[in-house]
Each structure stands twice: as structure tokens, then as C-alpha cells.
Amino acid sequence: MSKIGIIGAMQIEIDLILDQMDVFEEFLFAGFPFYTGTLHGKSIVLTRCGVGKVNSAACTQIMVDRFQVDCIINTGIAGSLGKDISVCDMVISSDVTHHDVRKAQMKNLFPFQESFLANQNLIELAKKACESSDLKLTYHCGRIISGECFVSESHLKENLIQNYSPACVEMEGSSVGHVSFINQVPFVILRCISDNADEEASISYENFEKLAASQSAFIVNEMVRMM
């Protein structure tokens, strides 16, 4: 049986999935909680990695090494960087990259990738889950960028748009994709939009954080059900 790894940064991003799981065992490695069990009859490893790229990279590597997962789905929330991408829309990663690492460094140093491509089968499954869910969510497929900061300034937002042509920005997805790539594990990053990555971002984030996190987790739940 295939084993599905699911990663969320914060507890609210995994609560819905954890509530639906039949949990068999709980583990704690390097401070990260890992829950093993089943969801819709599928073998699942669920974890909370904490905020930021270093945390998510460490957690992803532990998941690969300790649990030998066959694919990884990263669920969470993000700030919109697309004019047609609104709060509570879903973004499915086409690829992911670090916006706080120079492109030349990405290209010329190991693992010699300017970005990391998400698995096409997982992308299509995520699209199908969005289309078939009762939530009737609007979804977009595009580049997700990550860095060690919460983007809440218009000048930074415009710079990121100009340099990367991304759909959204957050703080974990690129490192999950990076670690998945070097371990040859298929992955996809899912984000529900909580804010517009501008001066109103903090207020919007507080208002929509829980809803956005729950909607992203719901789509992951649908994906597992459809596998």
C-alpha cells in the first residue's frame, strides 16, 4: 500500500485531517509530531512542521527517512500575488522556488534547479478534488514562492511579482519541494489564500487564517479519498 505524507506548518492546518484520521501511533522526532494511521483506508503519515523553510526542510527529511513515504502533500495558507487570485481561492503548485535565494545560486549550486516541479499526477488529483468538492472553490495552478518572511509590503510584493511571476507567497512550500526533489519523492503544494500580501495582510490573515487553513485541508482530505 502506498504511504501518503501530509505536512502542515501550523496545528490549524492539520486539525481537520487529524480529526478524520484513524491514528495508530504518534511519534516525536526533533520536536516534530508525526501521526501514522489511515484516512479513507489509505496509509497516512501526518505532521506539523512549524513556520519557516528550515523547519519544513528538516521535518520533510525526517518524514522521508523515518517513514519512507511515497508522496508528499503540503497544505496551508498563503498571500496572493496574482491579480485574479482572491482570498479563499486555492492555489495548486506547478512548481516552487525560494524567493530569498539568488537565481544564479539556485542554478549553479546543488541541486542545480531554479525551481522544483510538482508531480503532475498529484496536480491533476488536486484539481479534481477542487472541482468535485462541495465547497466549489476557485482554484489556480501556478508557481508558489517561499521565503523566511511574512510579505506585507506592496513594494516587496511588486518586486516578487516582477522577478518570479508567482501565484502566491508563503514560508514553507519551496523547502518541502526542494527536499522532496533531492529524495525523488513526488510532491504537490496546496495553498488557500488568506491575504493579498500587502499592507492589509496582517488584518486579512487574522480574519481568514482559520477558514483558509480548513479549506486547504479539506481539499487534501478529498485528494486522499479519491486516491
**Identity at 46, one-letter amino acid code:** L
Residue 209: active-site member: no
Cα–Cα distance measured from residue 151 to residue 122, given in angstroms and rounded to the nearest whole number: 27
Q: Single out the catalytic residue among 13, 95, 172, 198.
A: 13
Phi, psi (degrees; rounded to nearest 5) at 222: -65, -40
Tell me which residue has cell 488557500: 192
Q: Which of 95, 170, 195, 198 is catalytic?
A: 195
What CA–CA distances, in Å, run from 63 to 42, 45, 54, 71, 225? 17, 8, 14, 10, 21
DSSP 8-state secondary structure symbol assigned to residue 119:
P
Does 195 participate in catalysis according to the annotation? Answer: yes
Radius of gyration from C-alpha coordinates of the chain: 16
Amino acid 153 reads E
Q: Grid coordinates standing for 69?
A: 513515504
State the catalytic residues. 13, 195
